[in-house]
Amino acid sequence: MTRDILIVGAGIVGAAVAWQLARMGHGHRVLVLDRGLPMAGSTSRAAALVTLLRSEPMQIAMAQETLAAIGHFERLMPGSVGHHPVGSLHVVTREQLPAFRAQLDTCSALGIRTQWVDASYARDRAPWLHVPPDADVLHVQDDCYVDAYQLGMAYLQAAQKGGVALQLQTPVTRLDVRERILCGVELSSGECIAASHVVMAAGSWSNLLTTPAGVPLPMAPVRSQYWITAPSLAIPHDSAIVFMPAIKAYARPEVGGLLFGLREAHSAVADARHLPQDLEGFAFDTQDPQGWNNLAQGATALEAYWPGLEHAPIAHYVSGPSNYTIDRQLILGAASTLPGLWVASGCNGSGITFAAGMGRLLAQQLLGSDPPWLDGTHMAPQRFDSFDPYDTAFLSACAAARSGKATG
């Protein structure tokens, strides 16, 4: 059987695109290729928060699509995607309140369940948390976290059941472009696989394939990082996720301890050409491979919310690349100058949250159906005029996009 849709990358995004194509009855046309094992890129390193509070309706819809997918897999097999429906608490300071309320109006109109709660309710849901006196707390009932590896595998296995083929240990070395026409891909073995559609879902490595084909993608791999404390009785396993936007921090329970992330004032960024295939041991900053300097810089502010930080032994550190774009929009849709090339990337640290929605939108576009909530122009892969995705000023702008982000 000829498969005319190739998906490059079996991370959560490629898997979700494959799943949505299969759900639409086109699984028999799809082949997913990965150079290694599925979910071994950024996906398996994610904190895996799935969060609904966004200012853009389309992003909210994408997150809702992922929540629906999680519900679907949990109903089929409880526990299969590591779903923790713990909800989230957003600790909002008075200065942030007006902007936050505007965002809330958008979210409420789209059916997101929220309520303002008092400090004692918040402490009940997250006993480690101290709510500063000038802050209000918003509870978002349906926010959750999952096991990103398991959710990605659920998409992939469901896609395979729907007819999608998967070929692992198969590096793609080049897009096969002949006389400006995309004919398929070339593998490291030298073999070419013909296809009419190629979906680029190779995460932080996507530019290595699209740029030589004349389609640079406006994104760069920026460091995301978090720490996990040793288990402690002060952190119940069903504690809520907590966002502390004033200090750009978040936390959630993990294996009896607290997993917490702090956004850097100046995020570290990598040149994708130097990113290894195996992220284990890769350090964005060789002077500070475990982010201790960032932790030290943010510790005083974090202690105001979490007085127990000082005595919490840090047991683990995790970092990895998240693709940030300078306008913080996804990269989703068709490459206008190379018909047949589709891109699903540039997730700005939210690929676990958005994957099912990205998959649905891309599948609908590729199949030519009429998506009800599609207005792809602000996500178009070629929305910026000429730029060099490896230029240091461009990399810095992508890093600044992450540093400026409020939460998550």
Ligand X SMILES: Cc1cc2nc3c(=O)[nH]c(=O)nc-3n(C[C@H](O)[C@H](O)[C@H](O)COP(=O)(O)OP(=O)(O)OC[C@H]3O[C@@H](n4cnc5c(N)ncnc54)[C@H](O)[C@@H]3O)c2cc1C
- Binding site residues, ligand X, CB under 6 A: 8-14, 33-36, 40-43, 45-49, 171-172, 201-205, 209, 224-226, 318-322, 345, 347, 349-353
Q: Give the residue with the Cβ less far from ligand X, 26 or 223.
A: 223
Closer residue to ligand X (CB): 11 or 340: 11
Cβ nearer to ligand X, comparing 136 with 353: 353
Q: How far is the CB of 317 from ligand X (least distance, A)?
A: 10
Minimum distance from residue 322 beta carbon to ligand X (Å): 4
104 or 356: whose CB is closer to ligand X? 356
H or E, element range at 101: helix 97-109
Cα 118 to the center of its chain, rounded Å? 31
Q: Which is nearer to ligand X, 103 or 224 (CB)?
A: 224
Q: Write down the least CB distance from residue 94 to ligand X, Å.
A: 27
**Dihedral of CA 362/368/369/372: which sign?**
positive
Give the β-pairing of 49-50 and 192-194.
Answer: unpaired
Q: How far is the CB of 12 from ligand X (least distance, A)?
A: 5
| H or E element that contains 209 | helix 206-210
Q: Which C-beta is closer to ligand X: that of 119 or that of 150?
A: 150
Looking at the Cβ atoms of 17 and 246, the one nearer to ligand X is 17
Q: Least distance (Å) from ligand X to the CB of residue 76?
A: 22
Q: Which is nearer to ligand X, 204 or 325 (CB)?
A: 204
Helices 351-367 and 57-76 pack at an angle, to 10 degrees, of 100
Query: Taking the complex as a whole, how short is the minimal distance between the CB of residue 210 and ligand X, in angstroms?
Result: 11
User: Smaller CB distance to ligand X: residue 136 or 362?
Assistant: 362
- Cβ at position 185, least distance to ligand X in Å: 8
Nearest distance from residue 175's CB to ligand X, in Å?
Answer: 10
Q: Which is nearer to ligand X, 136 or 207 (CB)?
A: 207
Angstrom distance (rounded) from CA 280 to CA 45:
10
CB of 301 to ligand X, least distance (A): 20
For residue 402, the minimal CB distance to ligand X (Å) is: 11
Per-residue H/E/C for the chain: CCCCEEEECCCHHHHHHHHHHHHCCCHHHEEEECCCCCCCCCHHHCCCEECCCCCCHHHHHHHHHHHHHHHHHHHHCCCCCCCECCCEEEEEEHHHHHHHHHHHHHHHHCCCCEEEECHHHHHHHCCCCCCCCCEEEEEECCCEECCHHHHHHHHHHHHHHCCCEEECCCCEEEEEEECCEEEEEEECCCCEEECCEEEECCHHHHHHHHHHHCCCCCEEEEEEEEEEECCCCCCCCCCCEEEEHHHCEEEEEECCEEEEEECCCCCCECCHHHCCCCCCCCCCCCCCCCCHHHHHHHHHHHHHHCHHHHHCCEEEEEEEEEEEECCCCCEEEECCCCCCEEEEECCCCCHHHHHHHHHHHHHHHHHCCCCCCCCHHHHCCCCCCCCCCCCHHHHHHHHHHHHHCCCC
Using only the alpha carbons of the chain, give its radius of gyration: 21
